[in-house]
Amino acid sequence: MEVREKLYIAGAWLAPSGDGVAEVTDSATEEVIGRVPLGDPKDVDRAVAAAKAAFPEWASVAPAERAKYSTRIGEALMARMGEVATLISREVGMPFALSQMIQVGLPMTTFSSMADLVDQLLWEEQVGNSIVVKEPVGVVGAITPWNYPLHQVAAKLAPALTAGCTVVLKPSEVAPLSAFVLAEIVDEIGLPPGVFNLVSGLGPVVGEAIAAHKDVDMVSFTGSTRAGRRVGELASATVKRVALELGGKSPNVILEDAPLEAAVANGVAMCFLNSGQTCSALTRMIVPRSRLSEVEDLAVQAAEEYTTGSPFEDSTRLGPLVSATQRDRVRSYIAKGIEEGARLLTGGPEAPDGAEKGYFVRPTVFSGVTSEMTIAREEIFGPVLCIMAYDTEEEAIAIANDSEYGLAGGVWSADVEHAKQVARRIRTGRVDVNGGTFNTLAPFGGYKQSGNGRELGKFGLEEYLELKSLQL
């Protein structure tokens, strides 16, 4: 049992103002595996005050020296990889081997990349009679989700620290345990007090207090579009900078000449990763009507290979969802798809065979999905694939762009140059061409209601910097 009773503020573990507690549940067994304190606005005030006090001295440290702390965090995470991956697999449900590679591996890479990025950035330049300098934005409030609980923290914390900002972090109360391990690491490596502060708690309480706080200069939020709107609304009162990484309903356009076996198998994998609990999941597979039956057969075959079970069983390819609430939500979307006339090819709203406990959902594939259907428009956040047919390439692009979201996408073609041309016409922040792999140095973020701002690489680092011109 992971029991955490204190918050990390001003370089020390301090008792929270109140006595509220959040229980953390094992998503496969439904057992309580941890408890963390629920902070309140008084705790946010303490944390923000500590961050504000620490900011001037931290901002004066050379960027390369600041980056060394990120390197040490990355090294410490590597030493505790098994422990952290186990915590996240139990919280979120991702199979353990993938948790090591993704849930811990990606944060390690992000923290470790900062030293190189510092050298790539032009921190000062002469423009006519001006010197243009880049300076840290100030105190950053970071509010992170449960689906990639440590990766999303790293995507904010590593660049913010390297830029010279100080940080107040509110992790998701659903999967908070890795954030407490991170705070232990921060304490062990000797990051100056107040540079990093951790206040766990509920979004409507701690999250809203951070977003509205007059001494928070920037808020970076990852989560649902609905919650992102609320963050933006609260932040607008103090005209602070806002970065939002929100929902997605990402299209995967398979062109007429695409290698179907590879394209469909990859598409199913990119929809079902982390049991579909991925904001950039390729949930809409847009395919030529002339090849629809082939795609359907291949998709069913691929989906039925995603065996459900404990994240710690080698045979498991699809773990549970994070909570009973999320499981019930996803099952209701599956039922809605059937109700609205989509053809259920495999899966369904019933519990998988043998899943008496745990928040499991059957890997599900629909075909005959149209853009008007709920399952084609709303983010489901579960292992549910929607196959949508088109007759012309122009129609395929129109379907791809017919969404309130614009986070990610995919294009498949035997002709890479043609695929790139189509990719440029898809209105999303990222497009995978022929299964191109995730790049932690490329910008990540969305168009439209998928948010604004970018994370990762030098682009993410620049989000935490202000521009100042000195006229000579």
d(CA 265, CA 269): 6
Q: How many CB atoms lie within 10 A of CB 470?
A: 11
**CB 34 within 8 Å of CB 92:** no
Instruction: Say how far apart CA 95 and CA 311 lie, in whole Å.
Output: 4
- Annotated catalytic residue within 165, 271, 279, 386: 279
Q: Is 279 marked active-site?
A: yes
**Beta strands at 196-198 and 166-170: parallel, antiparallel or unpaired:** parallel
Task: Give yes or no: 165 in active site.
Answer: no
How many other C-beta atoms can be found within 10 angstroms of the C-beta atom of residue 469? 12
Q: In sequence order, what are the beta bridge partners of 364?
A: 384
- Phi/psi of residue 259, nearest 5 degrees: -70, 100
Between the CA of residue 39 and those of 170, 202, 363, what are the distances in Å? 9, 8, 37
Q: Can you say whether the dihedral through the CA atoms of 103, 105, 109, 111 is positive or negative? A: positive
Task: Fill in the amino acid letter for 190.
Answer: G
Q: Are strands 7-9 and 139-143 parallel, antiparallel or unpaired?
A: unpaired
Residue 277, helix vs strand vs coil: coil
Burial 82-110 (b: 16+ CB within 10 A, else e): eebbbbbbbbbbbbbebbbebbbbbbbbb
Strand partners for 337: none
What's the farthest any 2 CA atoms get from each other in the chain? 74
- Alpha-carbon dihedral sign for residues 160, 149, 174, 24: negative
Q: Dihedral angle at the C-alpha atoms of 154, 160, 165, 171, nearest 10 degrees?
A: -40
For residue 123, give the DSSP letter: -
Distance CA 404, CA 29 (A): 36
Angle at 96 between CA 92 and CA 101, to 5 degrees: 100
Assess contact for 443 and 462: CB atoms under 8 A.
no
Angle between helix 151-163 and helix 63-79 axes, rounded to 10 deg: 160
- As given in the structure block, the two tokens for residue 138 are 């100030």
Which of 173, 245, 379, 463 is the catalytic position?
A: 245
Active site residues: 245, 279
